[in-house]
Amino acid sequence: MLSANYTSQCINKTIAKRYLNISTQYRKVSQDVSRGSFNEERFIADEERFAATRRAEVLPELKVLEDNMREVSGFQTATAMEREND
């Protein structure tokens, strides 16, 4: 059984990884804008590729995190019916 602390660390690492990716993308766009070489069409195409890649990466990561969270003692995800009853 995994501890809540371990699961929290896994989630924090995943969030940090995503922040680094976003930060890198922001820096790249800022540099292009400051040089006057910003290309909106290329930016949109890059973002669409980035989003498709992230979706492919995120789904398995979310499944692993969800499985890890379920192993934490006392943790239960709310079903749709439980959420409706609240």
pLDDT of 4 reads 64
Q: What is the pLDDT of residue 23?
A: 82
Separation CA 74–CA 16 (nearest Å) = 26
Residue 68 has pLDDT above 80, yes or no: no
Average pLDDT over residues 20-30: 83
Does residue 24 carry a pLDDT above 80?
yes
Residue 80 pLDDT level (bands cut at 50, 70, 90): low
pTM over 0.85: no
- 49-58's contacts with Cβ under 8 Å and 24+ in sequence apart are 50/25, 54/21
Segment 51-67 mean pLDDT: 81
pLDDT number for residue 19: 77
